[in-house]
Amino acid sequence: VTQSAQPAKAVAEVIADATTPARKVVLLPSQFVMRRGGSLPEVHIAFETWGRLSPGRDNAILLLTGLSPSAHAASSPEDPTPGWWEYMVGPGKPIDTGRFYVICVNSLGGCHGSTGPGSVDPRTGARYNLTFPELTVEDIATAARETVRALGIARLHAVVGASLGGMAALAYAIQYPNEVASLVAISAAARALPFAIAIRALQREVIRSDPAWNGGNYPAGVEPTEGMRLARKLGLVSYRSAEEWTHRFGRDRVAKGDNQQTPFGIEFEIESYLEHQARTFIGSFDANSYLYLSRAMDWFDVAEHGGSVDAGLSRIRATSTLVVGVESDILFPLHQQQEIVDVMRKMGRDVAFSALPSVQGHDAFLVDAERFAAVVSQFFAPV
């Protein structure tokens, strides 16, 4: 996408993104006002779609992502590479693209085609970096909603999200109550609590401590990879569970040849796993995007919508809601999903709740296909 300096269009424009098969981009129709102040003169949101919109335009499901995934949730004829939720989205799958028109957006503030801190500010011709305005989960939901409207959809059959995406799904349903028929919030929370804030704040600090971060003004392509690598490892520690790692790695050592190449170097398999995962991540994610999206999660609190968690959640008008949590999740612990369920049921809402015994922690929705497919299939089963 060419980030043009032209004035914002009156009507949203959908553009094919030549850099990535299947990805399209919408240019939102006007200046985008941010919740905490400031605005963006133009916003591009990258998205992919699967299935066909029904003539009544009433079969659309919006997927909102976690912190790092792109809009490529699943493979398609245009892009046969597996997506991040491949087992969940497709013909005959739990989110059945034979029945539903599925849209997945890359979050505002992200770095996989949507406008974010790494984008060029058309007013200056330079990257935003830290001049990007403060980003909230609500802004992510709003940009997604503008994308949905640009596609000619006035009301979603469902908004679905996990992790940050689950927070964004709550924000969407709270801000646009009449535009959401049903809601699926997976491993989400009504607000960030201090343990998760501590982990994320420390990740951000590790990135900022990398001299290559340079106050956010690193040149394009010269990322603070050391800070990102360490922050990703800390993320992985919080995304999985001790129980899973005990079963998977135990006290296994890496092969002798790889062992202790540097003092205090990698010795245990768990260290090797983290190193491999972190190295896969770096280079694929903009550090400033990471900082903005991470902080947005800390700020999220549905109590900002009416003065209390109850008041915030009471704004949701979805006729059915599915909440899913995982027993081994230490980042978005189960009692936070229970809180959403308790509050909404107290208000007489129809809420299904699955507390899954997966051992994969916060990441279980990405990997425990069996349990998550069953729960989501049941929710979307034809009546």
What does the binding site for a copy of itself look like in residue numbers (CB under 8 A)?
130, 191-199, 201-202, 204-206, 208-209, 211, 215-216, 226, 230, 233-234, 236-237, 241-242, 245-246, 248-251, 263-264, 266-271, 274, 291, 295, 298, 301, 330, 333
Q: Of 72, 112, 305, 362, which one is the catalytic site residue? A: 362
Residue 240: CB minimum distance to a copy of itself, A = 8
Residue 304: CB minimum distance to a copy of itself, A = 11
Report angle CA 212, 215, 220 to the nearest 5 degrees.
60
Radius of gyration over alpha carbons of the chain, in Å? 20
CA atoms within 13 A on the CB side of 40: 32
Q: Which one, 72 or 229, has the nearer CB to a copy of itself? A: 229
Q: Which one, 205 or 258, has the nearer CB to a copy of itself? A: 205
Report helix angle 225-239 to 194-209, nearest 10: 160
Residue 250: CB minimum distance to a copy of itself, A = 7
310 in active site: no
CB 13 within 8 Å of CB 4: no
From the centroid of its chain, how far is CA 368? 18
329 in active site: yes
Nearest to 68 by CA among 367, 363, 375: 363
Query: How far is Cα 27 from Cα 4, in angstroms, rounded to an integer?
Result: 11
Q: Of 139, 329, 363, 368, which one is the catalytic site residue? A: 329
Q: Which one, 155 or 247, has the nearer CB to a copy of itself? A: 247
Ramachandran class of 139: left when φ > 0, alpha when ψ lies in -120 to 50, beta otherwise = alpha
Residue 198: CB minimum distance to a copy of itself, A = 5
163 in active site: yes
Using the CB atoms, write b or e for 37-58: b if 16+ within 10 Å. Answer: eeebebbbbbbbbbbebeeeee
Q: Which one, 9 or 36, has the nearer CB to a copy of itself? A: 36
Residue 283: CB minimum distance to a copy of itself, A = 17
Query: How far is Cα 342 from Cα 321, in angstroms, rounded to an integer?
Result: 12
Q: Of 119, 163, 187, 358, which one is the catalytic site residue? A: 163
Nearest to 159 by CA among 109, 112, 102: 102
Q: What are phi and psi of 74, to 5 degrees?
A: -155, 160
Query: How far is Cα 115 from Cα 45, in angstroms, rounded to an integer?
Result: 6
Q: Which one, 53 or 193, has the nearer CB to a copy of itself? A: 193
SS3 assignment for 60-112: EEEEECCCCCCCCCCCCCCCCCCCCCCCCEECCCCEECCCCEEEEECCCCCCC
Residue 35: CB minimum distance to a copy of itself, A = 16
Q: Which one, 118 or 333, has the nearer CB to a copy of itself? A: 333
* Count of all residues that appear for the chain in the document: 383
What is the number of helices (H) and of strands (E) in the chain?
11, 13
Q: Which one, 124 or 378, has the nearer CB to a copy of itself? A: 124
Residues designated catalytic: 163, 329, 362
